Amino acid sequence: MTKIENLTATIQEMLFQMRTSKRLLSVDEVACYLGVSKSCIYKWTHQRIIPHSKIQGKTLFFERHQVTRWAMQNQVPTRDKILEKALITLKHR
User: What CATH number is attached to the domain comprising 70?
Assistant: 1.10.1660
76 lies in some domain: yes
Which pLDDT belongs to residue 4? 85
Which pLDDT belongs to residue 15? 75
13 lies in some domain: no
42 lies in some domain: yes
DSSP letter string over 41-54?
HHHHHHTT-S--EE
When pLDDT is cut at 50, 70 and 90, the band that residue 52 belongs to is very high
Length of the chain, please?
Answer: 93
Which pLDDT belongs to residue 44? 97
Residue 55's domain comprises: 23-91
In terms of C-beta density within 10 A (0-12 exposed, 13-18 middle, 19 or more buried), how is residue 25 classed?
buried
Judged against a pLDDT cut of 90, whether residue 13 lies above it is answered with: no
The CA dihedral of 75, 78, 82, 84, to the nearest 10 degrees, is -120
14 lies in some domain: no
